Amino acid sequence: MSDGGTKTKEMRLQEALRETLRYEMARDPRVFVMGEDVALFGGAYGVTRGLLQEFGDGRVRDTPISEAAIVGVAAGAAINGLRPVVEIQFCDLLPLCMDQLVTLAARYHYMTGGKISVPIVIRNKFGTRPGGGPSHSSCNHGAFIPFPGLKIIAPTTPADAKGLLLAAIRDPNPVLCFESHHLYGITGPVPEGDYMVPIGKAAIRKPGKDLTIVTCGGMVLKADEAAGRLGEKGVDAEIIDLRSLAPLDTETILASVAKTRRVVIVDEGPVVGGLTAELAAVIQENLFSNLKAPVIRVGAAPIPPPHSGPLVEAMVPGVDRIEAEALRLVGA
């Protein structure tokens, strides 16, 4: 981790993303932003607001409503030396550009024998919310883990939003940046200057000795609240915030689980074939004989995201469920 000084500024995660784009666009003329409504409207979540006025329509470009075209054009621009930052408004729409993303961008470095890289950052929103429904409220981040050549980040704090996004823009590989809608409004100190967080390094948000909770995105907030309740009952939980899903920081994860010997994996996505499945496999392959209890996975119910608020609450893991599973794990 590096930074340009000790000064920090309090800002929302949404603002930290915007300031990072502004900082890197001013520093590197190869960086430009493209996507649906990123220019005149300022982005679906306000992240690109003001960039058009500052950098002009040559570097902040509204696009047609075609995710395949957006990522295809970005890949071509990256191959030719530019560094596009793409906004895809919802992660539900990523399957529309799978060919351009997975078959081309993620593999081009390999297919050219390392001669050509495709430095694209694709920002997108994930998280199930009332009113979003089946087509605008998914959590498909775990589905992209198996593709070699593709990096995946999920910032939780405003500082990590800056540090990880800056590292992603400068990375020679395509990077998917999953931004939780639960977190856009949270505030925190953000280091000024050239501040980067290495991709592939998890954060220990809370140390503990009785069990490990591994999670990412908006679920970190729920895990923290659950850990507070557990502490009142004499259970000391350690919280690992993944921050990066590809590559996974297996060293930090395994060290924590080896210490506590119990683990609850919490994710807003489905447990079948998703992030929790991969983590559970890694943990049991390496620490099976060390575990005092089976790995517990807490994920979303296997249904399409509903519109109804009460149904969303029932589908997505909540604090009560995380606490209950942790207590069951320690035998309390």
Q: Tell me which amino acid residue 83 is.
A: R
The CA distances from residue 12 to 43, 87, 156, in Å, are: 16, 19, 11
Residues paired with residue 266 on neighbouring β-strands, in sequence order: 298
String of DSSP letters for 98-119:
HIIIIIIITTHHHHTTTS----
Instruction: Give the span between the Cα atoms of 198 and 196, in whole angstroms.
Output: 6
Q: How many other CB atoms are there within 10 angstroms of residue 322's CB atom?
A: 26
Task: Give the three-state DSSP class for 212.
Answer: strand
Show which residues are catalytic: 67, 136
Q: Look at residues 58, 77, 59, 31 and name the one whose alpha carbon lies nearest to residue 171.
A: 31
